[in-house]
Structure formats: structure tokens, C-alpha cells
Structure 1
């Protein structure tokens, strides 16, 4: 299923989000020094640098600040007046100036907008029909102001400096009441800000939290490196302050890019975007010449006559001309028949090979492997503990036998007693390397040990011993999917209907939802739930395990297991699980008619073995050495 598009039209004819180029805003702000002529120079320079939009800052000074703030003395090097009010009034462009600059930007072909710092400014920007409102970080926490702006249903670019996640969520839900056309920008309100305080990972947090909103970045750092990293992380809007001269009077100039830096930023952003490419790993057309030059192919060992059956003994892999069967197709050739002579060291070409009906890409055995070690972190002796009359390990063996789809069924264990049980129930016993049976060992360690000792196995089903309600029909279906070369791994899943939250830690006292939106909490009966591994089985091609080090790689899919009843499955890890499993296993046995497999297994050989084990246990108890 194609990924949902997260985009909207920010400016006429210009969408942001999804696969659209990053929208680059040149924030002129008040770096125009209160001069319309300088403002025009900056608009032209931003256009020449390749920016998509120029943005100014609009406020009604007498509305925005109170009397004491306006009358405060402002005797600093950056001041344009004796008081703070005089300073702000000097830098504030008139409404006529805005109309003049807007017309000039339109003439040059660059979008024009502004931040609004008060209600009158919002109304003015709406009147002159700017394509979007910019919400400055200082006003993002003013919910009344946000709602006033959102009600106008004009696209919004919302900076989040000086805010926390709770506030941003409130803004999200508030704006959503009126429209969907808005974006959040990660921002740190310091001028300039050091890279250690830019917190670009918030971009990913926003992407995970606000899945239907494009996310961007507003930067106040020096240079362009951090901004490029933001784009690489997925920022779809990038805002940077710009200036004609960093030495000019004003606090923003030092945190701004000059026009040569803006030009380089735009250039590098487009390079970064091009380099991101697509998420699918595949051989590209540009690699084809090198593939022909360096790629290896199957070649003949010795002169091979027409009718020769190919095997690993008469083929080799070399850099060859012309190119033929590639290394990953080597196993496919085993068992194929030559339809013409192939000379020593020559490439085996497709037109020289015939695959008979018996020949398959899958050459070797497809086996079931039950991992059942002696030790257990949760329940001592768990794998031999009696469940519904049989040792726990027996139920996985019986399910594999009932599936009737495996060439062989193996139990990999470090315990001879478990091995004897396995053989009595119709499986074969592999004594695993003790190092793969430690508490710290992984199932992958045990599987690598097994396939390393069984080179004739091309595919395996890792069947979980602690999952006694294995579905034989599902096992058979998964095997057929692997055999048909549709997938490299098929595993079993169930569904979870639990609402999950992040853990509370010493560093973070707040929690947040992981898999749902609290404002849109679904009813459990209406929610399909989350797909989760239930650990019942993992089918895989051995080649994938050996090549990738993982049995869930390349072409992976799952099958959903509902058990003997809707959702009635059990994975045994605690003593309480055995109690719950008793009834389920009984129903499971009846559902899949396993009785016909149990009778022969509980014959004389099994009874004798259990008697011997009981005698051994009694003898050990006399000397105080109870076996585990």
C-alpha cells in the first residue's frame, strides 16, 4: 500500500510535504533597517539566491507593547531610538510599504509573506492576501491568538521556539478544528544558537507525533551545516534569517546568512534532496556498467558436455565475460542440465541450461527446527514439564508432523533427555554447541549452529517450543510460500489491542502515547489493533540467514494466527502460563486431531525412557543432587 501523502498547498501552485522540494524561506524580518530600498535589494538578492519566499515581520507597535515597554530607555548599540518604542517604530514598515514590497516580489517571481505579532497585523496580512500566515515562536503559546488566526483558514507556518510538547499538541488540536493546512517548524529561540542546542531530533518527534502535518525547521545558527542536516531528517520547510551585511546594527544580523551563504544553502539543499533518493534498496541503472565490469558469474570447471547435470563440483564463480548467472543464482543452477557444450572456464549462459520439472531454485531440505535447551530463565525444566499429559516440547513436534510439509523435523538441544523425548515423538535430535544454549545466547546463535552442521538444508522453520498451540495449517501455508520463492521469510503474528505509552524516567517525568491519538481514541471493539510477533514460528531461507545474519530479512511477510479460537494462543514463560495453557492445548489437540499422532509416540519406547528418567532422578535425590 502506498504511503499516505502529507502535503498541502502553502502558496498558489506550490505544495509542501511528501516528495515536494523543501520550501526555503528567506526571513528578512527587520534586517531592512527600516528602509524600503534596502528591503527591495534583499528581495532581489533572495530571489537570485534561489529562495522560494521572502518573509517580513508585521506588528502594530502600539498594540503589541504596553506603555512602560515602549517608554523604556534603549541605549544599546543596536538601538534606532532613545526608547524601545522609538526603536520599534523606526523599524516598522508602513502598510503602503508592504504593498509596494509585495508588488515588487510578485514582479520578480518570489512568494511574499510575513509574521504577524498581533491581531491587527493578522487582519492586515489577510487583507493584502498573503499566501500564508507565519506564527512567530513568541506567540505560539497564545491560544486565543492562534485560534483567531486559524479561523481565517489561511495556511499557517508555526514556529515552536520557547514551547514544550504539551503546548505544541494543544496548538495542533486547536488549528485542526478549522483546517489542515499548517506546518510546525522546530526552532530554538537564541540568536545565534549553538549547534548543541538546535535539537534536530525534535523534527523526528514531530513527524512521529503529528503524522498528518509536514514538519520543518527555523534556524538561528551560524553557517548552513545544521540546516542541511534538518533537510536530511525530512524538514519540508526551511526558514533562515538573511542580511546584506552581518556587521549592520541589529541583533538578528549576526544570526543571519549573508546572500552568498543563502545561495550556497539553496544549492546544497537541492543536492541533499537529490541524494536522499528512494528508500528501496535495488541495483540502479547507473551501476549497470560496473556490474558488467566487476560482477561475477557462474563458469564451467572443465569441459562440460551437453547433458551434463550441473553441480557445485563442475561450476565456479568468477568475474566473467559475458555475464551469465549471478552468484545469488548459483544454487538455482544445481541440478540443471546443459543443452549444449560449455568449454572450460566459459560462462554458463541461460540459453545453455534447461531446468527440468524436478529442478527447483530450492535444492536441499526444508526442515523444522525446535529449539529446546535444558535451562530456562523463567521456569526450570520448562521444556520437559508435562502439559496436557505430554512434555511441552512434544506439542511443537506434533504440530510439525501434522503439517506434513517438512522433509525432516529436528530438535536442537543441549540435553540428552530432551533429545530422547524428541526421538520418541518422531523428531531427530541435534546436540547443539553448549555456547549457543547459555542464558545470554540468542535463537540466532542456535540456528546458525544448526545450519552450519547441516549444509543440505536450504530452508528452515524455527518453531518455538514454548508455543504449544502451533497451527499446522499455518505452518503448511508458510512453507508453501517459501517454496514458491515468493518470500525469504514468513513469520507468525497476532494482534494487540493495548494502548501503549512511553515509559517515565528520571530524565523525563511525562509520558506520551505511542500507538494512538488520545483525542481520537478508538473503541477497542472497532480497532483492528497492532500487528505483533507472537513468536510461534519463523520460516526462512538459510541463504538469507547466512548472508544477512538475520532470519527476518529481504522479502519478509507474516501470517496471522488466531489459534484454536479467536486470539486463543499462549506463549509459556511463567508457571501461570502452564495453568492457562492446559485447557487451550486440550482444545488445540481436539481441533487438529493430534490424537492419532500421540498414540504411537506414547508407546513402549517412551514409557521405558520415562521410567529410566524417574529412576535416575530418584537415585540423584538420594545423594542430594536433584537434576535440573
Structure 2
């Protein structure tokens, strides 16, 4: 890895109509955005850390934590702006500042605190071992949310299958067992570690998170999530406590 360049790129804008203040809210005595920063700083592989934001508090705190600020332009700091557009802007700013494209980009979110250095390092090790892989991403197993169980409201007011049952094969083979179609892995957004070219050529990636590329490896996380709803806050706090965080301590030496 000595010849590889790995950067962490953290994203978090100020405004949020769904859950105001989610990127900087106090969680176990620390602002939310400090958790992904701590994870990146304690990774064995991350060389540089950047944050793309328009949040004054994050802009002020980042340099004290050894993080370079990329001030997000106004057109990428509103509810209509797509995450992938802000990510692409941040990536090319990183390339400009480094004078080269990084080999690996650790994509982090200010409102995703269910992350630690071990998860980052596991992803990079998987990519090193598999040159055909585009990315390695944290996933959580939520079989209760199997796509087989998903429903949408029809024009007649009744619930319909969100995905036609034929998409799963012969409908006669389906059952009410939530695991009948295998394990359901959901990208929990705690991190994406991808090769730099995946962001540079994002149009070639797999929907809905095109920056992950086509060949995506799992890094299994336990009940990870980004915080967009209030119930996810308690879930995230439980994750942090299970992984050695408290108001006074972290699992890291410093």
C-alpha cells in the first residue's frame, strides 16, 4: 500500500429539511461529524482527509482535526442537489489539490456515525485482494425489509407488490418466510470505499449509488445507518456503545 494514495472525503451540508441539524447534533457528547473523522484518522491506510460542506461549524472545526475544507458551492448545498453531484465536485477538488487522482476514496457522511477505522481498513484490504472489484461498502442485514415484502399504494387505494413477484422467479416458490429469497443486504451508508475512477466515471456505475461502480463487495456492519429519521438516532447510539464509544471514551488510543 505504500505506493497507493487513499483519501477520505466527508460530505455534509448545513441545511436539512428532513432532520435539521443532523450533521452536527451532539451524540454521546460529540458532534456527529467527528465520528467519521475519527474513523478516517485512525485508519491504517488513509493519507488525507477532506470535508465538503457549507456548514460554518464544520468549517471552523475541521482544520483543528487535521481535515481540509472544501467549501461547497451554493448550487450543491440545497435540497434539490444530488449527493453524487456534491461527491463528484469534491472528488475533482481533491484531485486538483493533490495534483493526482487518488487510488482509493473513502466516502463518508457527517450524519453516518456507525463507522470506525476497522470497517474502513477491512474495505481497503478487500479491494487490494480483488483487483476486479470497484468498491467495498458497509452493508447491514435487514431481512425484515426484503424486497419481496415491499408494497406500494395502487390507484385503487390497495397495497400492491412494489416489485412484481415474477421478478423473484416462479411465484409458486415464494413464501411468507422473510428469508425465503435469501439474505437482504442494504448499503447502510456508513462508508463506501471505492477506486478513484468510479467517481471520475460515475455515469458507468450501478444505480442507485453510481459512485460504487459495478462490482461491489460487502463489508458487513451491524445495524449501521445514516441518520435521516429520529428513530435512527437511538439505533446509532446503540451501535456506538456496542463498539466502545461513550461520552468519555473512544476505542482509539488517542
Same fold by TM (over 0.5)?
Answer: yes
* Aligned partner of residue 69 in structure 2, secondary structure: strand
**Quick check: 1:388–1:586 contact (8 Å CA) kept in 2?**
no
User: Which runs of 5 or more structure 1 residues have no equivalent in the other structure?
Assistant: 1-356, 563-567, 598-628
* Aligned partner of residue 94 in structure 2, secondary structure: coil
* Paired position in structure 2 for 1:216: none
- State the Cα deviation string for residues 553-601 of structure 1 (Å, max 9, x = none): 2433222212xxxxx334311234334433432332349943533xxxx
- After TM superposition, the structure 1 = structure 2 runs for residues 560-575 of structure 1, keeping only pairs within 5 Å, are 560-562=220-222, 568-575=223-230
- State the Cα deviation string for residues 287-314 of structure 1 (Å, max 9, x = none): xxxxxxxxxxxxxxxxxxxxxxxxxxxx
2:187 equivalent among 530, 533, 547: 533
2:154 equivalent among 505, 518, 543: 505
1:474 equivalent among 111, 115, 119: 119
* Paired position in structure 2 for 1:557: 217
Cα distance in 2, alignment partners of residues 474 and 579 from structure 1: 21
Cα distance in 2, alignment partners of residues 462 and 509 from structure 1: 40
Flag the structure with more relative contact order, 1 or 2, with Cα contacts below 8 A and sequence separation at least 6. 2
Distance 1:452 1:573, change over 3 A: same
Cα distance in 1, alignment partners of residues 18 and 217 from structure 2: 30
- After TM superposition, the structure 1 = structure 2 runs for residues 137-152 of structure 1, keeping only pairs within 5 Å, are none
- State the Cα deviation string for residues 240-293 of structure 1 (Å, max 9, x = none): xxxxxxxxxxxxxxxxxxxxxxxxxxxxxxxxxxxxxxxxxxxxxxxxxxxxxx
Distance 1:384 1:496, change over 3 A: same
* Paired position in structure 2 for 1:493: 139
Distance 1:510 1:397, change over 3 A: closer
* Paired position in structure 2 for 1:588: 243
2:101 equivalent among 442, 457, 463: 457
1:523 Cα offset (Å): 4.2
Which one has a bigger Cα radius of gyration? 1
What is the TM-score of this pair, normalised by structure 1? 0.34
- After TM superposition, the structure 1 = structure 2 runs for residues 427-442 of structure 1, keeping only pairs within 5 Å, are 427-442=67-82
CA RMSD between the two structures: 3.0
- After TM superposition, the structure 1 = structure 2 runs for residues 73-92 of structure 1, keeping only pairs within 5 Å, are none
- After TM superposition, the structure 1 = structure 2 runs for residues 95-244 of structure 1, keeping only pairs within 5 Å, are none
**Quick check: 2:190–2:225 contact (8 Å CA) kept in 1?**
no
1:426 Cα offset (Å): 3.4
* Aligned partner of residue 115 in structure 2, secondary structure: coil
* Paired position in structure 2 for 1:424: 64
1:398 Cα offset (Å): 1.0
- State the Cα deviation string for residues 29-66 of structure 1 (Å, max 9, x = none): xxxxxxxxxxxxxxxxxxxxxxxxxxxxxxxxxxxxxx
1:387 Cα offset (Å): 0.4
What is the TM-score of this pair, normalised by structure 2? 0.77
- State the Cα deviation string for residues 531-561 of structure 1 (Å, max 9, x = none): 2211111122222322343412243322221
Would you tell me which structure has more helix in proportion to its own residues? 1
1:508 Cα offset (Å): 8.0
**Quick check: 1:400–1:475 contact (8 Å CA) kept in 2?**
yes
Cα distance in 1, alignment partners of residues 216 and 237 from structure 2: 33
